[in-house]
């Protein structure tokens, strides 16, 4: 089967976004270890502020409607829940490690499918329910419920972040009919910045210039990754795009092992692998449509 030029471009952009997301996560993890003040709150603040600047630069006058961020209840809910998800992700990257946080976070499509079925009354094929069940089992094994160690509060926070992201993609299924993708994405950026503004203000003011530069570069990378994913999905199917995105936890886990000595037990590897496989199979189900990333949570 011949790959069209547009598909090749889409694959390249998707791979680039995977690298950018992984580098962003590893940069935040490394910076927090070297400079403890550069914590998850600060990372969330920078991601929100820089994200808003990127959306404004690329989409002002091209569909972005800033006033809607303050007047549309569903959009406000999407922003608040998505902002919490971003904050939860970066806090857990700092405390759990890059690989563990990413693996838990990438279970969010499973929750999204569940909520879409319950709230939007979407019909899922039986095999999707089977894979969702397998994904939840994998999560339980990965988190170690009653198997290897007690589940910590940051594990639960990471899980809450994944649930929040699942709610977000369900909300987006409704918002995409009335709001521009840039406005939907900006709602999350705004909420991320507002949530973190007070807790992050003092630590951010103490960061040395090098740390500020690294934090800014990391935020730019994740913003560009969002844009790359959006453009990639214009020429790639959800199944193919999500398959490429499943490389992200592998790249991040390898980076965490190489740079920060992060390791997993065999049981955690088995649980994580089952969770990611199940997530991929749920997203790749032909009858199911998961919103594309600038439209979705991160």
- Structure confidence by residue, pLDDT tens digits, 124-157: 788 888 888 998 898 888 887 655 567 789 999 9
CA distance linking residue 84 with residue 268, whole number of Å: 26
- Structure confidence by residue, pLDDT tens digits, 221-245: 998 888 887 777 677 765 576 678 7
Q: Average pLDDT in the 24-41 region?
A: 96
Q: Average pLDDT in the 18-35 region?
A: 95
Give yes or no for residue 47 having a pLDDT over 60: yes
CA distance linking residue 83 with residue 199, whole number of Å: 14
Contact residues for 269 (Cβ-Cβ < 8 A; gap 6+): none
What band does 289 get if pLDDT is binned at 50, 70 and 90? very low
Judge contact between 49 and 219, C-beta under 8 A. yes
Please name every residue paired with 60 in a beta bridge, in sequence order, or none if there are none: 64
Average the pLDDT over each of 219-228, 241-250, 280-289 and give the range with the smallest value: 280-289
**What share of the chain in percent tops pLDDT 70?**
89
What is the token pair recorded at 13?
Answer: 């952009």
- Structure confidence by residue, pLDDT tens digits, 48-77: 999 999 999 989 988 899 999 999 999 999
């Amino acid at each position: 089967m011949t790959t069209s030029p547009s598909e090749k471009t889409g694959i390249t952009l998707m791979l680039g976004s995977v690298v950018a997301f992984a580098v962003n996560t590893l940069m935040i993890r490394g910076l927090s270890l070297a400079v403890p003040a550069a914590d998850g709150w600060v990372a969330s603040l920078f991601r929100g502020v820089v994200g808003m600047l990127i959306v404004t630069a690329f989409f002002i006058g091209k569909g972005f409607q800033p006033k809607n961020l303050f007047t549309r209840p569903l959009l406000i809910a999407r922003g608040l829940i998505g902002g919490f998800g971003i904050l939860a992700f970066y806090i857990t990257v700092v405390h759990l490690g890059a690989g563990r946080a990413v693996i838990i976070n990438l279970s969010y499509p499973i929750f999204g499918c569940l909520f879409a079925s319950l709230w939007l009354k979407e019909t899922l094929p039986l095999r999707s329910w089977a894979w969702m069940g397998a994904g939840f089992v994998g999560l339980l094994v990965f988190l170690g419920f009653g198997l290897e160690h007690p589940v910590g509060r940051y594990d639960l926070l990471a899980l809450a972040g994944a649930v929040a992201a699942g709610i977000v993609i369900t909300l987006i299924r409704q918002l995409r009919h009335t709001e521009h993708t840039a406005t939907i994405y900006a709602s999350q950026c705004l909420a991320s910045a507002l949530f973190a503004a007070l807790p992050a203000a003092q630590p951010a003011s103490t960061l040395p210039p090098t740390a500020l530069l690294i934090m800014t570069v990391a935020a730019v990378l994740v913003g560009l990754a969002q844009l790359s994913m959006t453009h990639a999905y214009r020429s790639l199917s959800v199944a193919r795009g999500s398959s490429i995105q499943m490389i992200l936890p592998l790249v991040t886990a390898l980076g965490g092992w190489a740079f920060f000595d992060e390791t997993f037990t065999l049981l955690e590897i088995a649980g994580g692998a089952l969770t990611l496989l199940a997530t991929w199979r749920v997203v790749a189900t032909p009858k199911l449509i998961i919103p594309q990333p600038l439209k979705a949570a991160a």
